């Protein structure tokens, strides 16, 4: 500190050598940033804190992501890409309509329960009115298509007579999402206000069954 202050700019000692690793550095920054943003939100997150969690320096954050918001956007985009990959991994077309819907609901519920980081990030982005989703090209071309899966299974169910007609696929999706999302997003307030722990294994299991049952009852004749 004392000597550094009188050394000419940028003339400080540095570790003898290092190896370049652009992808590793990028990855390291993104991981650190995810932790920090998910915990503290966009304005609550500290760039210095992210840098500290990283193997590299703050300088690199700005080198690769431009500014704090650019980094935030990158984290957000990656998380949406992951859930999209999850959705594409679902293979429900071969199942009976009821079974397909039950599985979709269960898997969606599980994905949210197992990825609270994703839930928190979506909450944070909604607080910001979806401003960063709106300005993201990667998100624009993402084509989140849980809806297509739903449309297909629901259509088959209506055709075979097990489901009642007249429901919009988007409404099915919203119901499934609401039940899965809320269970994670509002865990803290529910616990404080009702003393009920939605994260407890038995509560979670009961809630999962309830969600599946609720969706099926909503769809049946």
User: Is 192 one of the binding residues for DNA (CB under 7 A)?
Assistant: no
User: Quick check: helix, strand or coil at residue 220?
Assistant: strand
Contact residue for DNA among 30, 32, 33, 45 (CB under 7 A): 45
CB of 86 to a copy of itself, least distance (A): 14
Choice between 64 and 182, CB closer to DNA: 64
Output 39-46 pairs: Cβ under 8 A, ≥24 positions apart: 41/124, 41/127, 42/68, 42/69, 42/72, 42/124, 42/128, 45/72
Pairwise CA distance, residues 97 & 214, whole Å: 15
Contact assessment for residue 72 and residue 132, using Cβ atoms and an 8 Å cutoff: yes
Contact assessment for residue 54 and residue 32, using Cβ atoms and an 8 Å cutoff: yes
Choice between 28 and 41, CB closer to a copy of itself: 41
CB of 13 to DNA, least distance (A): 7
User: Quick check: helix, strand or coil at residue 163?
Assistant: strand
User: Is 63 one of the binding residues for a copy of itself (CB under 8 A)?
Assistant: no
User: Is 47 one of the binding residues for DNA (CB under 7 A)?
Assistant: yes
Q: Which two tokens stand for residue 39?
A: 């915990």
What residues pair up with 220 in beta bridges, in sequence order? 163
Stretch 2-41: interaction string toward DNA, x if CB under 7 A: --xxxxxxxxxxxxxxxxxxx-xx----------------
Which spans of this chain sit near a copy of itself (rule: CB under 8 A)? 40-44, 80, 120, 122-130, 133-134, 139, 142, 144, 147, 168, 170-171, 173-175, 177-179, 181-183, 185-194, 196, 198, 206-207, 210, 213-214, 217-218
Which spans of this chain sit near DNA (rule: CB under 7 A)? 4-22, 24-25, 45-48, 56-60, 62-63, 67-69
């Amino acid at each position: 500190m004392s000597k550094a202050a009188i050394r000419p700019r940028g003339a400080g000692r540095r570790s003898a050598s290092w190896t370049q690793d652009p992808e590793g550095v990028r990855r390291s920054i993104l991981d650190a940033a995810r932790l920090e943003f998910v915990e503290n939100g966009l304005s609550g997150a500290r760039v210095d804190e992210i840098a500290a969690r990283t193997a590299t320096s703050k300088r690199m954050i700005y080198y690769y992501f431009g500014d704090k918001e650019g980094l935030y956007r990158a984290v957000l985009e990656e998380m949406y890409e992951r859930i999209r990959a999850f959705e594409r991994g679902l293979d429900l077309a071969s199942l009976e309509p009821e079974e397909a819907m039950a599985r979709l609901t269960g898997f969606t519920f599980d994905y949210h329960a197992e990825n609270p980081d994703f839930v928190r990030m979506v909450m944070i982005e909604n607080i910001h009115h979806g401003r960063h989703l709106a300005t993201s090209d990667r998100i624009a071309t993402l084509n989140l298509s849980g809806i297509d899966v739903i449309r297909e299974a629901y259509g088959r169910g209506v055709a075979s007579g097990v489901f009642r007609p007249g429901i919009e696929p988007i409404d099915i999706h919203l119901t499934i999402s609401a039940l899965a999302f809320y269970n994670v997003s509002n865990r803290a307030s529910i616990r404080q206000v009702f003393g009920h722990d939605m994260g407890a294994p038995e509560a979670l299991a009961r809630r999962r069954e309830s969600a599946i049952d609720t969706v099926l009852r909503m769809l049946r004749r």
